[in-house]
Amino acid sequence: MSTPKILILGAGYGGVSTAVGLQNKLNHNEADITLVSKHDYHYLTTWLHEPAAGTMPAHRAKIYLDEIIDQKKVNVVKGTVQLINSADQTVALEDGSVLSYDYLIVGLGSDPETFGIEGLKENAFSIRSINSVYKIKEHIDYMFASFKNDPDRLDYLTFVIGGAGFTGIEFLGELVNRVPELCREFDVDPSLVQIYSIEAAPSALPGFDTDLVEYAMNMLESKGIQFKINTPIKQCTADGVILATGEEIKSKTVVWTGGVRGSSVVEKSGFEVMRGRVKVDEYMRAPGHDNVFIIGDCALIFNDEGRPYPPTAQISIQEAENVVRNLKAFIRGEKLTLVPFVPALQGTLASLGKGEGMGIVMNKKKMFGLSAAIMKKGGDARYLMKIGGLGLVLKKIRL
């Protein structure tokens, strides 16, 4: 029998956890494993709000694949996936090459969800990759420099963050910490800087524990963030945003953190999707495709009450572990009834700037302040330990 070909798309939380899991669990030559990703590095999407604001160098959120992948066991291909052709079990890359598979794992992450809001795609930034956050950080610095050369232009010092979900709140926590540093560097009066958080729902972090939401909002407000809650953004222009109330906020920096949808590649490839995500079966397989596993932000899974789980790194990693376990059994021909995926949620923790955070652990204990921030770093350290050992933890984690 020929060696089965396993193709993993995307070196994010899901893809890397699958590749590292398979390299650890399978023997040499048991499978021909290939990992394809846009870059030759894995990036920690969960850290990107920090380099976006300029409170962490972007290179710290990057891990070169040759540091964590044993290339004797896993071939790494740097390439951009264009289309999955599940009928003939191939994947086309943008450079024209075609890769074939017996088993496919799709971990291509997400795209920003703009809900068709006019002008957002063209005029707003979004926090989605290392390259996107380089651009945001450089732009923010440039706005301060531009103001110094044109001091009537207060729109240069006005920052609009659209959507107060977890990404928006975490970015606000970093941005508000960076502003004093920028004001000092560019000799700008801090009272001229305006940061708006615009949220469509009746609360920031909709659906999250109210004590924790209040804590986060009070903390951010005390540092100068202006919240506009229950106020959807209706349009984004080159000059700012127009809200559903008709109010216009003039700003040269709009960062859209209003939600995500699954990678457009999945929909383009003909899989049935809801907001770009495939409603997978209990083994993370696309309906009708027993050899195609969809994980991470491209997958849609539901809890017992029929509500979708929010796409998170935590769930992506667990899904990958489940796929690794089932694939190993397939490949070894072990008589295993497949093990269904059941998320084991550890809680939700959000950072609110250096040394500040809040959240719930073990699904009931609320945490605030420094202890929450340390707990969050502990979770990051566990992940880094799993993919790269202690060396990687020591290289990346700063308290």
Residues with a known catalytic role = 170
d(C-alpha 60, C-alpha 382), whole Å: 16
The nearest distance, CB 29 to ligand FAD, in angstroms, is 26
x/- track of binding to ligand FAD for residues 9-38 (CB under 6 A): -xxxxxx--------------------xxx
* Stretch of residues binding ligand NAD (CB under 6 A), selected from 148-156, 157-165, 180-188, 327-335: 157-165
Going by C-alpha positions, the residue among 230, 267, 234 that lies closest to residue 249 is: 234
Q: Contacts by 200-205 with C-beta closer than 8 Å and gap 24+? A: 200/163, 200/230, 200/231, 200/232, 200/233, 200/244, 200/258, 201/229, 201/230, 202/229, 202/230, 203/229, 204/164, 204/168, 204/169, 204/229, 205/164, 205/165, 205/166, 205/169, 205/350
x/- track of binding to ligand NAD for residues 9-48 (CB under 6 A): ----------------------------------------
Do the Cβ atoms of 358 and 215 come closer than 8 Å? yes
**Nearest residue (beta carbon) to ligand FAD:** 12
18, 167, 263, 316: which one binds ligand NAD (CB under 6 A): 167
Q: Is there binding between residue 228 and ligand FAD (CB under 6 A)?
A: no
Q: Is there binding between residue 80 and ligand FAD (CB under 6 A)?
A: yes
12, 21, 51, 163: which one binds ligand NAD (CB under 6 A): 163
d(C-alpha 290, C-alpha 284), whole Å: 10
Q: Is there binding between residue 39 and ligand FAD (CB under 6 A)?
A: yes
The nearest distance, CB 38 to ligand FAD, in angstroms, is 4
Q: Is there binding between residue 237 and ligand FAD (CB under 6 A)?
A: no
**What is the dihedral angle through the alpha carbons of 1, 10, 349, 310, rounded to the nearest 10 degrees?**
-80
Residue 347 structure tokens: 């809680």
50, 111, 155, 199: which one binds ligand NAD (CB under 6 A): 199
18, 23, 46, 326: which one binds ligand FAD (CB under 6 A): 46
